[in-house]
Amino acid sequence: MLVRSAEEYLLELLRTNADVVYHVRDRVYAVPAPPDVALPCLVCERIDTDDVQYQGGRTGLVQATCQVTVWSYSYSEAMQVAAAVRRCLAGRHIVLGKAVAIVVDGPAIEVQVPDGSDVALYSASVTARTWYVED
C-alpha cells in the first residue's frame, strides 16, 4: 500500500482493521469529523512534523506526529476503542517511498461536557509518531 502522507496511511489502517471496524464501523475521519456524527467515532490529524537531525545535519528522515482521537458517550467504550486503535497501529511499518516505523503512545482520556448539554463526551487520544524518508 503506497500512500501520500502519514495521515492517509493511518486512516487506511484504521478503516480496514477488523477490530477497529467492529467498534466504530465506517466512522473513521480525517479532522474535522462531520457535524452530528454518530458515536463512537475516530478522528485523525497530524499535529506536528519535524526534520530529524543528527550531529547538526539533516538525515533525510521526517517525523510526523499524528493523533487519533476516539469520541464516545462512555468511558469504557472510549477505552475499548482506544485499545483497538493501539493494537491496530503498534509495530506497523509505514510505506511512504521507503519503509519506516510507527511508535504508539496513549491513550490519554479526557471528559468534556459541551456548553448547553448535560451529556458528557469522552475522548481518548492515541498518539502515533511515524518516521519516513523525505521525497
CATH number of the CATH domain containing 50: 3.30.2000.30
Residue 68 lies in a domain: yes
Note down the domain range covering 30: 6-133
Q: How far is CA 72 from CA 78, 99, 120, in A?
A: 5, 33, 9
43 alpha carbon, distance to own chain's centre: 7
The count of structural domains within the chain is 1
> What are the pLDDT digits (tens) for 75-95?
899 999 999 999 998 877 655
Domain assignment present for residue 1? The answer is no
- 3-12, pLDDT tens digit by residue? 467 788 889 8
Burial string for 69-99 (b: 16+ CB within 10 Å, else e) reads bbbbeeeebbbbbbbbbbebbeebebebeee
